[in-house]
Structure 1
Amino acid sequence: MVKNLILLGLPGAGKGTQADFIVKDYAMVHISTGDIFRANLTNNTELGERAREYMDAGNLVPDEITNAMVADRLSQADVETDGFMLDGYPRNEAQAEFLDDYLSETGKSILATLYFKVSDSLLRERLLGRGRADDTPEVIDNRLEVNKAANLPLVNYYKKAGILHTIDGGRELTEVYHDVRNILDTL
């Protein structure tokens, strides 16, 4: 049984779509950082309130708060039973190190990291096609550059750990998922 994956890729690479396919075929919990933040904010948890202060000021939420939210989510019963697939976390090498340490303390580890690699031009096309008001070419270019700066060290981190699997995410969804299944079925 496949357990404990990380999905990496720039915005528009198809991580969320592939995650939907994966959870249909493999018993694991899809954990999106966005969902964790929304739950903590909606439920007015202590961590949510601390995060809101940073978000309301237009600042990034510090790693210590994000890490605590993820650790809390990873301690829940459904994750213990089914394993997990992280989407949107870790976002930097410090978070990856925290995750490794946290999982090690609980006797767990990451089995594989799937990196969906897509050309910049296709990412721009996909993001512009979403039709969101904030998805202007300038905003998209900036978002991609910011994410590249964070993503490349993570790709290298998991490559060094020997658990990185690079997938060409620029193809048809079914072709991409075929590669995903081939990787997961060999783990």
Structure 2
Amino acid sequence: MNLLIMGAPGSGKGTFSSRLKDNYSLAHISTGDIFRKNISENTALGQEAKSYMDKGLLVPDDLVNRLVLDTLENLPEGVNGYLLDGYPRTLEQAKAFDEATKGTANEVDQILFMDVPHDVLKKRILGRRTCPKCGEIYNIYFKPTAVENVCDNCGSALSARADDNEESLKTRLGEYTRMTQPVIDYYGEQDKVAAINADNDFETIWAQITEALGK
């Protein structure tokens, strides 16, 4: 079973990717992990990607595609497929990926689209608070602490991520909509998209995912 998981920042991709990986024995792959692995191992593709990153440039679509395809050709033993997170980001990447994998064992079977209204995403991200000492995560809207801005576990003062602010979020959501929505539409035309209402509790969302995969 080969899956893509897509959704805006704060939609829960990371949380459910972990459970999908464990429950279905999938190789969880993100482009960030691919870049780090190839650069640390000093592969030819890694060196090429690093040459762009060192200049502050985006890695070109063609090179990203080659890195992903190379990773899929070398999946670890014992997995039942892959779960791609963060790829494809653009319509051009999606079309190239389809062309390279169509009719092969690496052809994508389904796209899980974690659908959350933007006003909910805003509260999830802007309301997020983390304890720097014990790592516990809270949210002032959905999971507040007993004492404002103080960790329930260890009593430390909570902090917010530097990029969890209104201006950054507006940019991130705008960029996501501009680049990723066409990808979702593209796979929707192939009847491969399962829209998951991710504005729910964990078990309700997981039930939707397992039902979609069961089909």
TM over 0.5: yes
Q: The residue matched to 2:10 in structure 1 has which SS?
A: coil
The normalised TM-score by structure 2 is: 0.79
1:122 pairs with one of 109, 120, 123: 120
Aligned twin of 1:132: 161
Structure with the larger helix share: 1
Q: CA deviation at 1:48?
A: 2.0
Aligned twin of 1:178: 207
RMSD: 1.8
Query: Which of the pair has more CA radius of gyration?
Result: 2
AA in 2 matched with 1:110 = V
Gaps of 5+ in 2: 130-159
- Relative distance call for 1:180 and 1:79 in structure 2 (3 A) is farther
1:25 pairs with one of 9, 23, 26: 23
Runs of 4+ in 1 over 3 A off after TM superposition: 105-108
Give the paired residue count. 184
Q: CA deviation at 1:8?
A: 0.9
1:12 pairs with one of 10, 13, 18: 10
| Larger CA deviation: 37-46 vs 163-172 | 37-46
AA in 2 matched with 1:52 = K
Deviation string, structure 1 residues 108-151 (Cα, Å, up to 9, x no partner): 42111110111112212222316322222211110110111111
| Contact residue 24 and residue 80 of structure 2 kept, 8 A | no
Deviation string, structure 1 residues 27-83 (Cα, Å, up to 9, x no partner): 211111111111122222222222223223322110011111101100014278521
| Percent identical residues | 36
Q: The residue matched to 2:76 in structure 1 has which SS?
A: helix
Q: Structure 2: how far apart are the matches of 1:33 and 1:47?
A: 13
| Larger CA deviation: 168-177 vs 40-49 | 40-49
Matches within 5 A, 1:1-187: 3-78=1-76, 81-104=79-102, 106-128=104-126, 129=128, 131-186=160-215
AA in 1 matched with 2:69 = A
